[in-house]
Amino acid sequence: MLGDVVISDREENNVHTTTFNFEGFVKNKYFGQNDIGTLKKPFNPFGIVADKQGHVLVADWSNHAIHLLDLSGQFIGFLITDNYGIRGPNALALDKEGHLWIGDTKSTVWVFKYSRRTELPSE
């Protein structure tokens, strides 16, 4: 098994988690949280990264937020929101020391300590 590949598709405004085997098939699709009214603007996925446990972090450019998805691609919560001052996050990376790096449209690089536990960070 080659593992999962996560594709950020801005044209269709969704994030696909795709598992490629010999035939290839779509494992799941994530369309943001528009259906429960938590987003101010349409979901606009830009950057994506996965942690060692398989959780997927998605940079939502339009809503200035980082979505956290579980192993099956289901929404867990917002890891970071516009309350932190991030505007238009478009690049994500995790380093070996446990830092989450976020680049935004203001040419600012943000660095947060990332530790995936069952609870989300408090704001």
Ordered by start, the domain boundaries in the chain are 4-113
pLDDT at 37: 58
Residue 35 has what DSSP assignment? G
Express each pLDDT in 27-36 by its tens digit.
Answer: 778 888 765 5
Burial class (CB in 10 A: 0-12, 13-18, 19+), 30: buried
Cα 85 from Cα 39, distance rounded (Å)? 16
**Residue 86: closest CA among 65, 58, 113:** 65
Q: Please give the structure tokens belonging to residue 28.
A: 């799941």
Mean pLDDT of the chain: 80
Which of 3-12, 44-53, 105-114 is predicted with the least confidence, judged by mean pLDDT? Answer: 3-12
Q: Report the half-sphere exposure of 2 (CA within 13 A, side-chain side).
A: 10
pLDDT at 109: 97
Q: What confidence tier does 117 reach under pLDDT thresholds 50, 70, 90?
A: low
In three-state secondary structure terms, 36 is helix
Where does 4-113 sit in CATH, by number? 2.120.10.30
